[in-house]
């Protein structure tokens, strides 16, 4: 599991990624960073679109970047927003998180000082599981 130094670096990367958010409609800026089992960090920011359904959350942006580069095991994710309310991953992000590791550590941080840690599985306890879907 990742140590304090790695997790601190992960939070710092998510804070930095938040500056790249494209949110002209909501004005909400979210940054995320994922730590893979190989020690790599991938970042993402929320990206909005005038057709709201085409927007993508910071969490999924970071995870998809990692996966598109070959990562399959994500050990931790940091999500940074303004406050507690803006660090809660949506349902779609929670399902994507558990797909790659239900035990993934989730570090939620608000620039207002909010701080909470948990796991992807605790955020979405009754998630779709790949092995269940394969049984049809």
Nearest-5° Cα angle at 127, 116 to 39: 55
- Give every CB contact of residue 134 below 8 A, 6+ residues apart in sequence: none
Model pLDDT for residues 85-103, shown as the tens digit of each residue: 999 999 999 999 999 999 9
Of residues 90, 91, 98, 103, the one with CA closest to residue 131: 98
- Annotated active-site residue in 59, 69, 99, 132: 59
> Does residue 126 have an active-site annotation?
no
- Give every CB contact of residue 69 below 8 A, 6+ residues apart in sequence: 40, 42
If one looks up domain 4-134 in CATH, what number appears?
3.40.140.10
Q: What is the pLDDT of residue 96?
A: 95
**CA separation, residue 114 to residues 66, 99, 123, 129 (Å):** 26, 27, 17, 31
Model pLDDT for residues 24-81, shown as the tens digit of each residue: 999 999 999 999 999 999 999 999 999 999 999 999 999 999 999 999 999 999 999 9
Model pLDDT for residues 99-126, shown as the tens digit of each residue: 999 999 999 999 999 999 999 999 987 7
Domain boundaries, the chain: 4-134
Cα 43 from chain centre: 9
């Amino acid at each position: 599991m990742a140590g304090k130094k790695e997790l601190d670096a992960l939070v710092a990367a998510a804070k930095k990624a938040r500056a790249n958010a494209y949110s002209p409609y909501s004005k909400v800026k979210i940054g995320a960073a994922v730590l893979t089992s190989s020690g790599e960090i991938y970042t993402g920011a929320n990206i909005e679109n005038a057709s709201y359904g085409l927007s993508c959350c910071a969490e999924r942006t970071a995870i998809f970047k990692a996966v598109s580069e070959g990562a399959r095991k994500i050990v931790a994710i940091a999500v940074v927003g303004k406050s507690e309310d803006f660090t809660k991953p949506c349902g779609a992000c929670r399902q994507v998180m558990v797909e790659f590791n239900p035990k993934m550590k989730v570090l939620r941080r608000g620039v207002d000082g909010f701080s909470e840690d948990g796991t992807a599985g605790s955020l979405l306890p009754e998630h779709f599981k790949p092995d269940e879907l394969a049984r049809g």
